[in-house]
């Protein structure tokens, strides 16, 4: 039962991100580059976070990196693609809210 809910959640997340990606790309074709770069950078941050063994340091690293990348990519979009700024803002927020970094963290349970 739990796997079914996770599967539906993943499909909804992918659909929502795909809709925003499509709308942003229609507004400005360069949006696809910014959005793809943002997603790739975030996934790289999460992947590198799995290499950190200390849970507290991992959470701090992901939190600081996540919002730093958010600000940098929104600034780049606002300066160079102002017509796609709102789509970028929406996509970055949707991505940050729906992708849970704890899915990438391997926390050791109490022993």
Higher pLDDT, 95 or 102: 95
Residue 110 included in any domain: no
Place of tokens 């600000």: 71
* Structural tokens at position 72: 């940098």
Q: Please tell me the pTM assigned to this model.
A: 0.79
Residue 47 included in any domain: yes
Residue 108 included in any domain: no
40-44, 77-81, 91-95, 106-110: which has the minimum mean pLDDT? 106-110
Cα angle 14, 16, 17 (rounded to 5 degrees) comes to 65
Those residues with Cβ within 8 angstroms of residue 23's Cβ, 6 or more apart along the chain or in another chain: 87
Residue 107 included in any domain: no
CA distances from 35 to 6, 79, 90, 107 (A): 24, 15, 11, 30
pLDDT digits (tens, 9 = 90+) for 12-53: 888 988 999 999 999 899 999 999 999 999 989 988 988 888
Residue 109 included in any domain: no
Number of domains observed in the structure of the chain: 1
Q: Which domain holds residue 40?
A: 2-102
């Amino acid at each position: 039962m739990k796997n079914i809910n996770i599967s539906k959640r993943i499909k909804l997340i992918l659909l929502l991100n795909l809709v925003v990606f499509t709308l942003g790309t229609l507004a400005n074709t360069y949006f696809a580059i910014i959005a793809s770069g943002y997603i790739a950078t975030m996934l790289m941050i999460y992947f590198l976070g799995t290499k950190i063994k200390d849970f507290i340091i991992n959470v701090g690293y992901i939190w600081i990196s996540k919002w730093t990348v958010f600000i940098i990519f929104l600034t780049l979009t606002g300066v160079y693609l102002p017509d796609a700024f709102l789509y970028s803002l929406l996509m970055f927020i949707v991505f940050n809210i729906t992708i849970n970094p704890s899915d990438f963290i391997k926390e050791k349970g109490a022993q």
